[in-house]
Amino acid sequence: MLKMKKSFKKHIPFLLLILVIALVYMHPFLSSNASYHHGDWRISHQNTLVIMDKALDDGTLPLWTNLVDSGMPFYAIPDKPFLYPPLLLLLWFFGAVFAMNILVVAHMAIAGLFMYLLAFHLFQNRYVALGSALIFMLSSINLMHAPFWRYSTAWIPLLMYFVIRAFESKDKRILFSVLAGTILALQALAGGIFIFYYTLLFLVILFLIFKWMLAKNKVASLFSVLMIFFILFGVFLGFSLVRLAPSTEWSNLINRASGLDVEQSKGTTLSSSDVFTTFISGNAKGYYRIGFLGTIFVLCAFCFFRKKEFFKNNKNKLLIFFILVMFINLIFATGLFYEFFWKIIPGLNKQRHLIRSLFVYVFCASIVAGYGLLYLFTVLKKRIGAKPFKILFVILLALLVVDMLALSNVSERYPDLEDYNIVIDNNPLAQYLSTQEKPFRIHVFEVRGIDYTNIEIATIPLNVEETSHAFGGFWFNDYLHGFMSLAYQGDYAKIMGVLNVKYISSSKEINISGLDLYKVLPEYDGAIPDFIDGPYLYNNTKAVSRAFYPENKVLVVGDSESAKQIVRVILLQDSFNTSNTVVVRSNKDRVSEFNYDFLSGFDVVVLGKGSVESNVPYSLKKYVEEGGILLPNLIEGENSISAENLAKEFSLFSGSNINVDASLHYSQNSLLINNPSPGWLVLSERYALFPGWRVRADGTELDIFQADGIISAVNVPSNVAELEFVYSPKFFVSTFILFILTTLFVVVYLLLFWRKSSKQ
């Protein structure tokens, strides 16, 4: 024990230097309100924590959020750190903004400290280990990447340390495999989905293959490789499935359902003209910069290939591995041969932008640069002696810090930090909306498709709900392409109104039926983009209430695609008035599956493809006999529907919806309605699209139907005291139990191992 303490003391100055550099350079973030105001930093990452913080205050996780995308699953977005232990702890004490900033600083230090640990294990030289640590911790991935990505990449050195030790220590192989699996899971829990994927692919799996290929006894080595992999991967799944599995509930509803095609998956690639700027000079494209000196040290490492005796040590053979991975990663990032890899490697078709994988290059280059420093260390020590050498080496490391920091391009990537509240307090549009009676939604007129509005940086903290989102490179097909696109094909105000969009903001005056100019607000010079502050605010006179009982009801029955198309045609009819009528899409394909009592609740029943078998069911015949309108009327020999017939029927409808917004009681993942009236209750919420939503009337589960192409409807029975909607994504409960069991297993195993070791 005394020997260990004495040995550790030698490392203290180097470890303190790493901490000091991290604190000094990142000290602007040690402020409770320091923030950037555009890009992923604020829109996606910081806003995620704002929503998460609100949920934790309510004692729950943000399984769902109403604040964006007209309501969407939130926890199941896999690239968010909802169960990342350090974040949960800091959120509890410091709130969203400061917690994220503290972790940015902490993870720079973590990256440096664990790279020092790994490098010292490989080189057994404190100065060289410090050099590797400085290159990695001060590389652009830790200076310029978005916060959650930094959290994830910081753990790579510790992960590889445990994987390497698992091979070296037969008696501790299980221990280090368990620890490696835990760290890999931390990467996923931190929100680095693509980072853990590429780490597993390029570093862990390729390392296992490399070690097997070097082994003399291939059979015994294969057993070791498989043992390490299955323990590592098993622990990883036990911890991380709670974050990865819930998204399977809706993964078939998004644009990535069947994966991205080759070109979409490639996205941004590394071009030959960008090599210098990406890794060395550090202009605005230099997200993976290791600097001038870092690159020189990498080149110096190749000098070891002139010394065959160097590679007699198995640990030194890792230089070959890290160089190979560097070149493989470079080729991969260019997109060369990518179609071949895209076809054969599982999960690759879900990834986007190959250039993002270059954090692997940065990590490997930091290790290889360490080998280069080791070579210089050996040569200089022999030629100039120990004392002059140490002075020269310290100067060299100081120049490395200058190269990595003073010559970096952080200021070109982000503007100076500003107070978090500036863009909230100075946006008159967001401030005004926050004072209006809720619930309602706002839509930014300039936003079409998947554009990020940036208005979220002000609306989310102020609890103002909107129709778009910036929380990942995905979108829901039925929402964006299926429904929102209808606004540009027909009555804009009516379609937006279905989503309870009471307000439309615009940077210019617009003339659209149903939109009345409500207010012209002062403009905010700091708005990015400039349309997020309006200044023109329009009142949508065709917006429906958040909850209402419609006067007239239309049922569409048929197979999924047929019913969808019919509903869209109905919505585009000028005579279809959402202020008094709703169209409900059946949750069953065949009309024979409904009895007369159900059908009688509708004024019109529209039949689509596959809705009727060879014989018209009795329930449908009775429905027509009792005065119900059937389109097409099969009983009278009709077999098709015309737009004219639809328009004629809808023009006869009158009355108005009954608004019941006042009875709604929202919480983070649920909605409670006390003493609802019987009948068809329509909610301007997207609950019907997601299987995780359940509704119970005094404990009895009811069906949720899709209404008006995108919102939800429930047939409320009589004498209900409490109607409760609750969201719990598929697999969440089971995988959370698995997470707890895995945690218990790892803790118990580590305690038993420690107890056994302490006795020896």
Give the model confidence (pLDDT) of 681-715 as tens digits.
999 999 999 999 999 999 999 999 999 999 999 99
Q: What is the DSSP letter of 418?
A: E
Question: Taking a C-beta distance cutoff of 8 angstroms, is the pair 668, 537 a contact?
Answer: no
Name the pLDDT band for 1 (thresholds 50, 70, 90). Answer: very low
| Residue that the structure tokens 């839509």 belong to | 443
User: 324-338, 485-499, 522-536: lowest mean pLDDT where?
Assistant: 522-536
User: 79-83, 195-199, 467-471: lowest mean pLDDT where?
Assistant: 467-471
Report the SS3 class of residue 337.
Answer: coil
pLDDT the model gives residue 364: 97
On the 0-12 / 13-18 / 19+ scale of CB atoms within 10 A, 161 is buried
How many angstroms separate the CA atoms of 282 and 304, rounded?
A: 28
Torsion of CA 637, 641, 647, 653, to 10 degrees: 60
* Range 203-225 average pLDDT: 90
How many angstroms separate the CA atoms of 439 and 464, rounded?
A: 9
| Residue that the structure tokens 């509803």 belong to | 253
pLDDT the model gives residue 386: 65
Rg of the chain over CA atoms, in angstroms?
A: 30
How many angstroms separate the CA atoms of 328 and 712, rounded?
A: 50
Give the model confidence (pLDDT) of 416-442 as tens digits.
678 888 888 888 888 999 999 999 999
pLDDT the model gives residue 2: 47
Model pTM score = 0.90
* Distance, C-alpha 216 to centroid of its chain: 44
How many angstroms separate the CA atoms of 180 and 163, rounded?
A: 6
Residues contacting 585, CB < 8 A, separation 6+: 556, 563, 564, 567, 705, 706, 707, 709
How many angstroms separate the CA atoms of 706 and 177, rounded?
A: 48
Name the pLDDT band for 647 (thresholds 50, 70, 90). Answer: confident
Give the model confidence (pLDDT) of 109-162 as tens digits.
999 999 999 999 999 999 999 999 999 999 888 877 888 999 999 999 999 999
CB atoms within 10 A of CB 87: 25
Ordered DSSP codes for 248-314: GGTGGGBTTTT---HHHHH-S---GGGHHIIIII--TT-TT--HHHHHHHHHHHGGGGG-GGGGGSG
| Residue that the structure tokens 């329930």 belong to | 619
How many angstroms separate the CA atoms of 53 and 96, rounded?
A: 6
Q: Is the peptide bond before 28 cis (omega within 30 degrees of 0)?
A: no
**Structural element, H or E, at residue 53:** helix 47-57
- At 169, the amino acid letter reads S
Report the SS3 class of residue 217.
Answer: coil
First to last CA, the chain: 13
Name the pLDDT band for 456 (thresholds 50, 70, 90). Answer: confident
Using a pLDDT cut of 90, give the percent of the chain over it: 57
Answer whether residue 516 shows pLDDT above 90.
yes
Between 391 and 509, the higher pLDDT residue: 509
Question: Taking a C-beta distance cutoff of 8 angstroms, is the pair 622, 595 a contact?
Answer: no
pLDDT the model gives residue 33: 87
Residues contacting 419, CB < 8 A, separation 6+: 33, 34, 35
Answer whether residue 412 shows pLDDT above 70.
no
Answer whether residue 453 shows pLDDT above 70.
no
Give the model confidence (pLDDT) of 343-360 as tens digits.
999 989 888 889 999 999
Give the model confidence (pLDDT) of 179-190 as tens digits.
999 999 999 999
C-alpha closest to that of 651 among 544, 570, 555, 577: 577
How many angstroms separate the CA atoms of 582 and 584, rounded?
A: 6
Name the pLDDT band for 25 (thresholds 50, 70, 90). Answer: confident
pLDDT the model gives residue 62: 93
Name the pLDDT band for 282 (thresholds 50, 70, 90). Answer: low
Q: What is the DSSP letter of 606?
A: E
pLDDT the model gives residue 451: 56
Residues contacting 626, CB < 8 A, separation 6+: 600
How many angstroms separate the CA atoms of 211 and 149, rounded?
A: 28
pLDDT the model gives residue 645: 81
Answer whether residue 414 shows pLDDT above 60.
no
Name the pLDDT band for 480 (thresholds 50, 70, 90). Answer: confident
| Residue that the structure tokens 């899971």 belong to | 185
